[in-house]
Structure 1
Amino acid sequence: MISQKWQKQIRLLQQKKHRQELGAFLVEGGKSVLELLKADFTIQALFLTDTFYKENQKLLDEQPFSFELVEESELEKVGTLQSNNAALAIAKTKENRPLRVEGSEFALILDDIRDPGNLGTIIRIADWYGIKKVICSETCVDVYNPKVISATMGSFTRVQTYYVSLQSFLEQEQTKAIYGTFLGGESIYDLTFADSGYIVIGNEANGIRPENEKFVSKKITIPRFGEAESLNAGIATAIVLDNWRRGVKP
């Protein structure tokens, strides 16, 4: 049974201010917890159903910490998922360390992405296309939000994030190619990307903010052939990265 102490902490960690105070976050669901166990995060507590333990006994028995077997109903009662028949972990957050592109590398820059599902999906898409670094404006949703973590499906363990004032960051990175997504710009289907640089994705409703737009060296667009007004930020990211990846030498 999950103790009152841990139940209280699990509920506190559903709020950003408490995640920051405690330096910890929640990871829920079998897929995400398995990815966490294989990564370099420090795990403070782990609660498992008997079924999940039996399915992953070898990996779990190799861990240097103890875990507790609980009922599925307990995980659903204290966690954020409507259905969780596997596991819930509490892990330490990582330090917000500076990230920049190095060598022949591309990174994503996210300007004011507010929706947790969008951020989680973008991190998962970045992982799929081999992007290891995501730079977030200070107004982006917290990467350790439980909905973000769940939406990444474990990709949060492989993609690094860095929260920073984009205006000052972009000002320092002017020697790099900086591509930004706009409704008006060069078609991504006609574009040849540089060997390294950044791709900026803007807010779901308002796009890239004017104070950051001025640092974009190349405005790009996904051509529209129908009548839809706009694209979801996650979908736009996937389309842009797919076209970028097509031009990358193997």
Structure 2
Amino acid sequence: MLNKTHTKYIQTLHHKKFRDENGVFIAEGPKVVLELLDSREFVCLQLFAVEEWLISNAKTLQQYSGTEIFTVKDFELEKISLLTTANNVLAIFKKKEQRRPAQLKEKITLVLDTIQDPGNLGTIIRTADWFGVENIICSPACADMYNPKVVQSTMGSLARVNIFYTNLQEWLQENETIKKYAAALEGKNIKTLKDTREAIIIIGNEGKGISDAVMSTVDEKITIPKTGEAESLNAAVATGIILAAFS
């Protein structure tokens, strides 16, 4: 049974303040939970799941002896889930220490300037994983990588892409030898950048774009050519198109 203490504790972790205080985050659903477990990037502290799921994954779970496992009923899972429909399992993982990227040479690196929508951030992380991008550098004002909506949107890619939060202007100046491209409404056509193997690509805020401070460090503006009448693209969609152009 899920007791009131567990229920209250898990519900507090829906909020960044309590995730930060406890150094943990929530993941939900079989795919996300199993991906994070298999990665060994995050330590799973507690796992709450319906009996059927625990039985079908018993062999896998035997590998994680340090994890407290609780059998819960469907209605109990509903109480602690943020999903519209609770999905068999919820786990609490320990956050990992931030890791400053050590090597950017011969790599594509993403920089996100105040991407505030959790769904966008999660989708960008998942897209970066698809294209083999190892590092994403975020401004402090970006959405929290451990926001439950971000974790769900990544579908496990959170374990494979290194996310590092820092002052962007300072970090970009430290890496001045690598060419920096800023996604903008006007600039060089991204179609000309195919097979570029080393670059820092900067994606701006959903409404305001890239800040002046960050833009001052940029070597070149790039743009996605359009044929329709839309004023702009969703940040996550634009990221996917740009990364595809660099591939």
Provide, for residues 174-206 of structure 1, a one-character-per-residue CA deviation record: whole Å limited to 9, x for no partner. 111111100010000122564312111111111
Q: Of the candidates 96, 99, 107, which is equivalent to residue 97 of structure 1? A: 99
Give the TM-score, by structure 1 length: 0.94
One-letter identity of the residue aligned with 2:157? S
One-letter identity of the residue aligned with 1:221? T
Misfit runs of 4+, over 6 Å: none
Deviation at 1:97, TM superposition (A): 2.4
Which residues of 2 match residues 28-177 of structure 1 at below 5 A? 28-40=28-40, 41-64=42-65, 65-177=67-179
1:103–1:167 CA distance, 2 compared to 1 (3 A): closer
One-letter identity of the residue aligned with 1:53? L
Contact 1:101 1:197 in 2 (8 A): no
1:224 — aligned with what?
A: 226
Distance 2:90 2:207 in 1: 33
Which residues of structure 1 form unaligned runs of 5+? 246-250
1:20 — aligned with what?
A: 20
One-letter identity of the residue aligned with 2:243? L
Which residues of 2 match residues 211-250 of structure 1 at below 5 A? 211-245=213-247
One-letter identity of the residue aligned with 2:31? K
Distance 1:192 1:152 in 2: 26
One-letter identity of the residue aligned with 1:50? E
Contact 1:49 1:85 in 2 (8 A): no
Distance 1:137 1:12 in 2: 25
Provide, for residues 37-77 of structure 1, a one-character-per-residue CA deviation record: whole Å limited to 9, x for no partner. 10221111001112222332221122213411111221121
One-letter identity of the residue aligned with 2:156? G
1:222–1:100 CA distance, 2 compared to 1 (3 A): farther
The share of aligned pairs that are identical, in percent, is: 44
1:66–1:19 CA distance, 2 compared to 1 (3 A): closer
2:5 — aligned with what?
A: 5
1:210 — aligned with what?
A: 212
Give the TM-score, by structure 2 length: 0.95
One-letter identity of the residue aligned with 1:158? R
One-letter identity of the residue aligned with 2:101? L
One-letter identity of the residue aligned with 1:124? R
Distance 1:92 1:183 in 2: 40
SS in structure 2 of the partner of residue 67 of structure 1: strand
Contact 2:194 2:245 in 1 (8 A): no
One-letter identity of the residue aligned with 1:19? R
Distance 1:179 1:165 in 2: 18
**Matched residues, number:** 245
Distance 1:177 1:152 in 2: 27
Distance 1:204 1:11 in 2: 29
Distance 2:105 2:178 in 1: 11
Distance 1:239 1:101 in 2: 24
Distance 2:80 2:15 in 1: 13
